[in-house]
Structure 1
Amino acid sequence: MAKSMIQLRQDAERQRIEAYQVTLRRVTAVPRPAPNFERAIEEACRGFARRAIRDGALWRPKLKTRDPARLRLAAARFLYARYPVSAALEAIWLDSSGLNADEVALRKAWYVAAARSDSLYKAGANAWLSRKEVHCFVNVVGDFTFEEAFWLAIARSCTDDPGLATRLARTKIARTPRGEIAFWREVARFFCGHPTSREEIDDLCDYLGAMHRRDRAYSLKGRTLVSLRRQMVEWHRDIAAIERIEALRRRAAGKGQQAQGPAWDGSRLEDWDWEPSAKEAKAHGERFFVRQLRTAEDLVAESRAMHHCVSLYAAKCIAGNASIWVLRRKALGKIERLLTIELDPQNRAVQVRGFGNRLATAEERKIVERWAKARGVVLRA
């Protein structure tokens, strides 16, 4: 008698279950590899074997972990540690991803010095930290990264408030390059004297970092939290203005086309330099120069510094209907902004303005006339 469809499906299901049970009986557990203690000792010794206080061959760990990183840390503790070391220093044995070889070597050397109870200050920390800061760094308690512990030590030297120091250590200051420590130490000292929220410190750090990249001599001396807030708002406005100008430039380049570089074509006139004679110069090495502004950033910076609306002329510059030039004076290592000049496509001066849209002085006018004669620019009477 033929089986019904239901019986056939039931038989097929039983066969699948039996076949699956057979495969389960054949499966054997994969043996876990034994902890590689020899490799852990070898990695912990690399580069610091002569500084070990114990013989690695005598290490008899009773560890259940098979994690290579934890084994490496345990080996480092056995080889070098006379006393417990902070987690911030031990972290280098657990994870060194994202660090270059020099930074890895430095952090391991600092760990070895601290673990052996040697002077971390003499071991190289004196290049960045004072003795007081080194003491705080070595004895930091809590869940801090290496960078956070580093800046916590600096902050503690500037304030007696541990909460404020901890807040500073967890801001973007801790992610700044150590090569710029002089500037960021000043920033940390400023916020110790002008406490604010962690979020606002991060926002202000973005602004301060941009100012420092633009001018390496930028300083917080004489500034207040109120003035920094105002300047940060202006900076954000400048960024928005630059983005609007860049959008104009992209549209002018045409849909589907990428604008070439950050600058537009501008005028074909060449830049100009003039150095007065020793008799005419008011200062040693005095020099005047005229440069064309061909980027959104330069145009907005000129508008901000000179307190006028030249940045609104970006569309005309991009379209080739105008070009913007600036007259600068350099003397005694400083550059002074004097005038902003607008030329039309026929190289005729449409506007010549100074700070706050003032007119050019007689002395500035003479310099502009000298430039105009050299470059074939037509000045208004």
Structure 2
Amino acid sequence: MAAFSCNWIRSPQDWNPGSDLPVEEQWSSLLRHLFAKWPVPAFMDSVWMLPGDLVRKERRWYCHIAEGGSWRSALDLPRGLSRRAIHLAMDSPAHLDLVQAFRWGQLRALGAKEELVGEVLASSMAKRLSNEAIWSRLLEKVAACPGFEPSDFGIIADLVVDLLDHGHEQRAGWLLDHSLPDLRGHCYRRWQSLLNAAEANGIRFRDKQLTRSGLRAELRHFSNSRWDPMEGVSAFEIIRRTGLGELFGWTIVELRCHARLAREGDAMRHCVEGYWRACHAGRCAIFSLARRPAGEDSDKIIPHVTIEVHRESRRIVQLRGKWNRWPFPLERSIIEEWAHRNGLEMAV
């Protein structure tokens, strides 16, 4: 609010909130004390809680409306929002935020069913004002179809969100050119393929209902959480005989996505999955020492030791076996040979 002090019409020192008011009401009272010459809808209070830049268009809208300006003269308002949608948004439930209120107004203007309104407001697109032309098309398409199942909305919206987040606006628009049944079918197949890929990487889900938003969020995360390989580290495989005389092939490979880290952590019963952020940021690289009977199929590979390498210094800083045990001598000797070949320093 201090960034908009030039819009204050009263001094904060003159504000006298009721001591018995809840915190939310005190907050609302302060906003109106500082800015409001005219009534401001309750949903607009949410703009002051938005993360990111201090000076945002949403906060300029608040000041504009508080000074008595009209929505028609507000700058940078999304073009897809009709006057009727904005007018109806003024009567939206008080607990909604700004974007949700606009969506509520849009859906009311389109005559959408109550169940669809609820699904839209709970979806990921209900927090976005960018790419308004695409979202308006989608809302018009689903609201105009009497047989559309509201619980399918998130399936479609989350896939469009994923495309937009990766800069594929043209592809998102192409998707919306399809009939609603074809669009729904395409989205279901895409989420099913992500689920199959995650399960192929050893990830298990208790509830595999694709209409569940939490599952789709996990699938998006596993799909997007990948990173580049560590430079100067080549593929490694070696044959070694155990103390019992058994011949095994040993491999060391880098784990380059969250799904692989989760699979490793599940097999090894330790917390390596939590390292995905450090890997994604390029601070460390995680490798897995695994073995298989010499000459047999790779699907019988068994992980033995998880290896953490500090990327910048190229130092091996942690070695952990199952249940966080220390490596056995044979395992350590293999890791030392791999480190020597790739110019890595053993720091453990």
Report 1 or 2 for greater relative contact order, CA contacts < 8 Å, sequence distance ≥ 6. 2
Greater radius of gyration (CA) = 1
